[in-house]
Amino acid sequence: MSEEARGKTYDLRILHKLVSYVAPYKLLIIVAALISLIHTGVQLLFPYITKIAIDDYILVSKLEGLSKIVAIYFLALIVGAFLSFGMSYLMQTIGQYIIRDIRVQTFSHLQHLRVAFFDRNPVGKLVTRVTNDGEALNQLFTEVVFSIFTDIAMLIGVIIVMFRLDAKLSMIAFTVVPPLVIITNLFRIKARKAYREIRKWLAQLNVHLNETFIGIKVIKLFNQPQANYVKFSAENHKYYQATMQQVVIYGIFTPIISLLFSCGTALIIWYGGGEVLQHTLSLGTLVAFLSYIAMFFRPIEDISTRFDVMQSSLTACERIFALIDTKEIETEDRGQKTEDRRQITDDKGEIEFKNVWFYYGEPSASPPRQSGISASLQQWVLRDISFKVRAGEKIAIVGSTGAGKTSLINLLARF
């Protein structure tokens, strides 16, 4: 289970895998998406209602209809609150369903891996994959996926409404979009790398803690608490550095977004204010534009915040799927396919080893067919072993340390 970075192709593979977990809940997702779209439409009404109130009632001193506009505004607020609750509840429910399925599959897969896999991978790392990374993946669904869908719907809606109100003023306001796209893309690249480092060192900390607690008697026996402390402090500092790198990246990105929002607002006031003074633009439209530009940047700020979570979640995703993709399933022997495995159903009690060669790891050479011809012979723990133990028979296996006695028994148990 490599901790190294993967490329964009692997990211697409992650998303494709996630779709397979989402598919069983597509009906709930469709309902949540519809509620999200209706909620977005309600939110877009508020600035337009304000425009109507200013242009059609306040500026012309027509106060008798203003109470009706206020009532519509409050009604929209109440409807929006109920829609927001329904959308949040469905998002959380779907996220919990999906993470439950992934955790069950991960745990089931772990139980069918070869024992050698657990010799090479510390328990702390595996626990981190199933628990911490699983919870980070849960955030991807509950805090990112549906929220980003809502934010994108809001962005599209704001753009459409603004261009319908005044196309020229909209073009001026959106001059800040190109630098916004460039900065967001740079943030995406840097944040993903930072979060990968955070997850890697968090797993290492869990490994160290697990090994310390399990081996505490050995640590005390050999008087190694100080050495163990120094090693833990070094790993903890690496985790701190990775976290601070993420903090710096996010700390730079957020003020830049705020600066671009202020620039967009200033452009609207500068150009729109002049249009209002020349009576080519209504005051209500200018006020609505100021509200809409705020609504335009709010999803972008939300996306940047959730992108922070998304990078953490995708990093956790690739770690969990790396574990699920591990193919070290127990097999009958090296040359036999997994699907061709035979169940042990022979109850005669006989055990037979026939021309068995064994090597820990991946051998650099194929098993020699004739003795005495390969210089790599010493790499093999077992070399052309053949014997039979009949039912009820007792035999003794003797030899020096490293001769292969334990390996022989582990092979018998498929370990």
**Which is more confidently placed, 229 or 9?**
229
- In the predicted model, is pLDDT for residue 82 greater than 90? yes
Tell me how far apart the alpha carbons of residues 295 and 42 are, in angstroms, rounded to a whole number.
13
What pLDDT shows up at residue 345?
Answer: 58
- In the predicted model, is pLDDT for residue 151 greater than 90? no
- In the predicted model, is pLDDT for residue 266 greater than 50? yes
pLDDT, one tens digit per residue, over 296-311 is 888 777 766 676 677 6
Lowest mean pLDDT among 10-24, 110-124, 337-351: 337-351
What pLDDT shows up at residue 11?
Answer: 60
pLDDT, one tens digit per residue, over 152-161 is 888 899 889 9
Burial (0-12, 13-18, 19+ Cβ within 10 Å), 41 = middle
Lowest mean pLDDT among 13-27, 30-44, 380-394: 13-27
Average pLDDT, the chain: 81
- Cα atoms found within 13 Å of the Cα of residue 22, Cβ hemisphere only: 17
What's the distance, Cα to Cα, between the start and end of the chain in Å?
20
pLDDT, one tens digit per residue, over 183-206 is 877 887 787 788 778 878 888 888
Average pLDDT over residues 21-27: 87
Average pLDDT over residues 79-91: 89
Report the predicted TM-score, pTM, of the whole model to 2 decimal places.
0.63
Tokens of 330: 């127990």
Q: How confident is the model at residue 332 (pLDDT cuts 50, 70, 90)?
A: very low
The secondary structure of 66-105 as a DSSP string is: HHHHHHHHHHHHHHHHHHHHHHHHHHHHHHHHHHHHHHHH
Residue pointed to by tokens 């955070």: 198
What pLDDT shows up at residue 191?
Answer: 78
What pLDDT shows up at residue 335?
Answer: 46
What pLDDT shows up at residue 373?
Answer: 41
Which DSSP category does 367 fall into?
Answer: P
- In the predicted model, is pLDDT for residue 370 greater than 70? no
Tell me how far apart the alpha carbons of residues 185 and 192 are, in angstroms, rounded to a whole number.
11
Which DSSP category does 341 fall into?
Answer: P
- Walk me through the domains of the chain, giving residue ranges and CATH numbers: 8-324 (1.20.1560.10), 338-368+376-412 (no CATH)
